[in-house]
Amino acid sequence: MSAKRQFTLKSGLLGLAVTLAAGAVQAEISDDAIRIGYLADMSGPYRDLAGPGGLEALRMAVEDHGGSIHGAPIEVFSADDRNSADVGANTVREWIDQRNVDMVAGLVASSVTIAATRLLAEHDKIGMVSGAAALSVTNEHCTPNHIQWVYDTHAMSNGSARAIVEEGGDSWFIIAADYAFGHSLEADVEKVVEASGGKVLGKVRHPLNTADFSSYMLQAQGSGAKIVGLANAGADTVNAINTAGQFGLAESGQALAGLMVFLNDIHALGLETTQGMQLTTGWYWDMNDEARAWAQRYYERMGSMPTMVQAGVYSSSMHYLNAIEATGTDDAATLRAWMGETPVNDMFTSNGVIREDGRMVHDMYLVEVKSPAESEGEWDLYRIVRTIPGDEAFLPLAQSGCHLVNS
């Protein structure tokens, strides 16, 4: 029997068990408590896109469940992974050994996420990944115990790069962050550009948290490429865009393509600098009434509108807690089966589907940054150009390298 068939059969049996257990006399929650650890960059380049705001989103999910489920209190603790795989792995190991953690949320840097989810799988705990973008998280590094919620490099490049090439931006120079996420985004962008009829004229990589992008921009200018693609995120993207402005890339006929741009980046840079930029996002606070209502609650607590990662932390945590509510247990296999069988319908998405490789498939959005004249408020930054259906945005399951699918 194939692994995929085994997974489907196991999920079906577990789903039946979940249904039969819905009216069980008492819940079976280990240690009589639900323990969640939030692991993210709390002080470095990814602080604003996830960081303390993601922790607050997690707390909102806990509060929306009344702070306990079936009489078991929900305990939350957090740590700064400092974008180090070693620090992240040691933290998760300590949480498992000493705090009996049930689930780890956040998980932003791809290298940290891969190390952490490996440990979670070994100890049969759950990981809800909201920030890591590397496609490998649910490809070669997939496990039965973690779910990648918001985006991945395939979805981000498939939206932005394809649209830009189709509009005439057919020659590219890529500036990429020199670690797992940047490598993955660089490779996916190059693949999409070439498949769309464009060419990549050159590439360069920079260390995480680079302050000076001068040499990289000089190389980009020298390439003569129409598009300078930024395969980085957070403070690196902001610094790169600012340097491009100082070097007059626009005046020389070159355009920037931010391939992993967040709401906080646009807000920090301002509409004068970013107007007209097209980018892909997995969620936007003003996309519908439900998103607006939740975002307003978040704004009242944090003083800023949430990024797609922070919204993803809330959504993924709610789905996990809903699973405990429905099944009466914190057993990882039972929860993973329930989450896979239950569509995601909330302020983040409608009819999101969690596949056996751990990818949560949902619609993505191609947006354009508004001009100052178009914007009606401080956080009124995007105009949605089009919706990218989930089955078009994400890598088809048939092409997955995940051992849960193909072995």
> Does residue 158 form part of some domain?
yes
Please state the domain count of the chain.
2
> Does residue 170 form part of some domain?
yes
Tell me the average pLDDT of the chain: 92
- Boundary-marking domain end, from 281, 312, 327: 281
Selected residue with higher pLDDT from 278 and 301: 301
- Boundary-marking domain end, from 259, 281, 303: 281
> Does residue 372 form part of some domain?
no
Q: Are residues 33 and 88 in the same domain?
A: yes
**Residue 153 pLDDT:** 92
Q: Are residues 179 and 295 in the same domain?
A: no
CATH number, domain of 255, equals 3.40.50.2300
Q: Are residues 269 and 192 in the same domain?
A: yes
CB 109, CB 97: distance < 8 Å: no
Cα separation, 53 vs 40, in Å, equals 10
What are the φ/ψ torsions at residue 308 (nearest 5 degrees)?
-65, -30
For a pLDDT cut of 90, what percent of the chain falls above it?
83
Range 92-106 average pLDDT: 98
> Does residue 299 form part of some domain?
yes
**Residue 6 pLDDT:** 42
Q: How sure is the predictor about 10, in pLDDT bands with cuts at 50, 70 and 90? A: very low
Q: What is the number of residues in the chain?
A: 407
> Does residue 52 form part of some domain?
yes
**Residue 27 pLDDT:** 66
Beta pairing, strands 126-129 & 72-80: unpaired
> Does residue 406 form part of some domain?
no
Q: How sure is the predictor about 250, in pLDDT bands with cuts at 50, 70 and 90? A: confident
The residue range of the domain holding 70 is 3-151+287-363
> Does residue 381 form part of some domain?
no
- Boundary-marking domain end, from 239, 254, 281: 281
Q: Are residues 90 and 174 in the same domain?
A: no
> Does residue 184 form part of some domain?
yes
Q: Are residues 266 and 235 in the same domain?
A: yes
**Residue 167 pLDDT:** 84
Tokens of 41: 């960059």
Cα separation, 290 vs 49, in Å, equals 21
Q: Are residues 322 and 251 in the same domain?
A: no
Lowest mean pLDDT among 118-127, 189-198, 268-277: 268-277
**How do residues 148-183 score in pLDDT, each as one tens digit?**
999 999 999 888 898 889 889 999 999 999 988 899
43-47, 113-117, 274-278 — most confident range: 113-117
Cα separation, 364 vs 282, in Å, equals 5
**Residue 155 pLDDT:** 94
Beta pairing, strands 72-80 & 199-206: unpaired
Cα separation, 128 vs 113, in Å, equals 10
Q: Answer whether residue 284 shows pLDDT above 80.
A: yes
Q: Are residues 117 and 25 in the same domain?
A: yes
Q: Are residues 269 and 315 in the same domain?
A: no
Residue by residue, DSSP assigns 151-201 as --HHHHHHHHHHHHHHTT--EEEEEEESSHHHHHHHHHHHHHHHHTT-EEE
Q: Are residues 48 and 176 in the same domain?
A: no
**Residue 9 pLDDT:** 40
**Residue 3 pLDDT:** 40
Cβ atoms within 10 Å of 249's Cβ, excluding its own: 18
**How do residues 17-63 score in pLDDT, each as one tens digit?**
444 444 443 469 999 999 999 999 999 999 999 999 999 999 999 99
**Residue 406 pLDDT:** 67
Q: Are residues 294 and 264 in the same domain?
A: no
Q: Answer whether residue 403 shows pLDDT above 80.
A: yes
Q: Are residues 261 and 317 in the same domain?
A: no
Question: The tokens 């607006």 sit on which residue?
Answer: 292
Q: Are residues 300 and 356 in the same domain?
A: yes
Cα separation, 109 vs 179, in Å, equals 9
